[in-house]
Amino acid sequence: MERVEERFLRYVKIDTTSVEDTGTCPSSPNQLVLADMLAEEMKAVGLSDVRRDEHGYVYGCLPAAPGYENEKVVGLIAHMDTSNAVPGGPVNARMFLYEGGDIVLNEEKHIVMGEKEFGLHRLKGQELIVTDGLTLLGADDKAGIAEILAACEYLLAHPEIPHGKVMVGFTPDEEIGAGADLFDVQGFGAEYAYTLDGADITEMEYENFNAASAVVHIKGNSIHPGSAKNMLVNAATVGMQFHGMLPVRETPENTENYEGFAHLVSIEGETDHCVLKYIIRDHDMEKFLARKARFEKIAAYLNELIGEGTVTVTLRDSYFNMKEKIEEVPWVLDRAYAALEACGIHAHPVAIRGGTDGARLSFMGLPCPNLGTGGGNYHGVHEYVSVTQMRKMVEVLVKLVSVR
């Protein structure tokens, strides 16, 4: 049997960075490369009904053990793409036993993962995989893929373990909010599922942000500055005014836990035009709606002040807090907690300050809380994964799908 870390190291060699606004699914061609690789590996492991559709979604089935065909069908899901926040490759990974202290990722470029800064003390004694500090690692979410397939291989090698049918799904473009767009929930055939897309394996995630994007378009009026009085409308300056009217402390760098925010992702403009792109996040629906309304109120104020049509705000909901859906099926959480506890892991709930395919899938009729994979520092060059935790999560998945 192949070790889970060997699978992982193979997958991260493929740069599957997703790309915004391509209008295609998947958004980058290498996602299809990984999808085809996974489909072949799923067949080689012994999964049945393996298929890769034209959009890059990969599905397969671990048949039920004899006599357990009537058990509820469970799904295990992970995503193939990686964040475009930093370069996605080529990944130069190395594995080592962490014995404490700062981790030097790249001595030549002075890139260090500080023990205190990144809370590494809790990882002492674990085997870690990191990069050379020039790219992300891809643990988000190739660690989840590796763990799912390692668990399936183990179950197929141990037919004495009782379990019902297990459906496996790998999605593209989760990092750009499109992972569940074309997921075939009905064809998947699971009654409930778990995404393997979290961080530390002691964390149970079934609450996430309500999320929206906001695009602010500002139309200026460019006039020669020597004769500009009462005629010039500097779109870039209006953009600064707009941003300055948002609560200065309600940003990602000033919030934690259940505190929401508006995050300026990008700003681009000149005198005659300016575009600001934001993401809006809050766990509480009432506060979430108020945050979106604030954008519209600021636009209305500036239009009244400067001129109608100067500021246009386009809001688009991305996903909602899955808590309300998961609370309807508490046994799904109970099953996960029991599997973790049986493997010696005392898990606790953590609210996701982000999103996951499971959030949208839960609203599509597939209750889908999120489990940790053993990674951390996602979306940056300091990303790592704990091989120790990856191996433990394979054990958890075997327990999770087993009939007890």
22-66 per-position pLDDT tens digit: 999 999 999 999 999 999 999 999 999 999 999 999 999 999 999
Looking at residue 234, its amino acid is N
Last residue of a domain, one of 270, 296, 319: 319
Distance separating alpha carbons of residues 320 and 360, to the nearest angstrom: 7
Give pTM, 2 decimals.
0.91
- Residues of the domain holding 17: 4-208+321-401
Instruction: Looking at the structure, tell me whether residues 49 and 167 fall in a common domain.
Output: yes
| Residue in 314, 312, 311, 313 with CA at minimum distance from that of residue 233 | 311
pLDDT at 356: 86
What share of the chain in percent tops pLDDT 90?
96
Which tokens go with 61? 């089935």
Whether residue 174 lies in the annotated active site: yes
Residue 213: Cβ within 10 Å count:
15
Mean pLDDT within 117-130: 97
Which one of the listed residues 141, 147, 173, 174 is annotated catalytic?
174
Instruction: Looking at the structure, tell me whether residues 135 and 35 fall in a common domain.
Output: yes
The pLDDT tens digits for 80-95 are 999 999 999 999 999 9
| Residue in 369, 404, 377 with CA at minimum distance from that of residue 118 | 377
| Residue in 192, 145, 142, 173 with CA at minimum distance from that of residue 57 | 173
Using omega within 30 degrees of 0 as the cis cutoff, is the peptide bond preceding 87 cis? no
CATH number reported for the structural domain that contains residue 265 in this entry: 3.30.70.360
Domain count, the chain: 2
Which one of the listed residues 41, 81, 153, 207 is annotated catalytic?
81
Side-chain half-sphere CA neighbours of 92 within 13 A:
5
Instruction: Looking at the structure, tell me whether residues 178 and 216 fall in a common domain.
Output: no
The answer to whether 60 and 49 have CB atoms below 8 angstroms apart is yes
Instruction: Looking at the structure, tell me whether residues 347 and 392 fall in a common domain.
Output: yes
The pLDDT tens digits for 279-329 are 999 999 999 999 999 999 999 999 999 999 999 999 999 899 999 999 999
Instruction: Looking at the structure, tell me whether residues 130 and 249 fall in a common domain.
Output: no
User: Phi, psi at residue 57, to the nearest 5°?
Assistant: -75, 135
Looking at residue 346, its amino acid is H
pLDDT at 384: 98
Instruction: Looking at the structure, tell me whether residues 287 and 328 fall in a common domain.
Output: no
Confidence of residue 372 (pLDDT cuts 50, 70, 90): very high
The answer to whether 152 and 45 have CB atoms below 8 angstroms apart is yes
Whether residue 140 lies in the annotated active site: no
CATH number reported for the structural domain that contains residue 383 in this entry: 3.40.630.10
Instruction: Looking at the structure, tell me whether residues 30 and 130 fall in a common domain.
Output: yes
Instruction: Looking at the structure, tell me whether residues 88 and 98 fall in a common domain.
Output: yes
